[in-house]
Amino acid sequence: MTMPSERTRSIIQAREFLVNLSHDQTLSDAVRTEAHRLLRHYPTADEVLLAGKVEEQRADGLPWLFLSSKID
């Protein structure tokens, strides 16, 4: 089972991967353009961590978290 902190870390690392792809001059223009296009709507690390914090503080009684405010 994936823990919220693992999921949070993976989302943040996926953004970093897309950033690296979008800047890699050894890749085709199509790949770099697609990575850049995906990044336009991809959350930043701060946004992901904030979403985790909001989830942790919610009071609706749901027994699970999707994200975490920490990646350690």
Question: pLDDT by residue (tens digit) across 54-71?
Answer: 988 887 767 788 899 998
Alpha-carbon distance of 56 to 50, in angstroms, equals 10
Nearest to 9 by CA among 56, 68, 57, 54: 68
**Alpha-carbon distances, residue 30 vs 15, 36, 49, 56 (angstroms):** 18, 10, 30, 39
CB 22 within 8 A of CB 39: yes
Alpha-carbon distance of 11 to 50, in angstroms, equals 13
| pTM of the predicted protein model | 0.87
Give 1's DSSP letter.
-
8-34 tens-digit pLDDT = 999 999 999 999 999 999 999 999 999
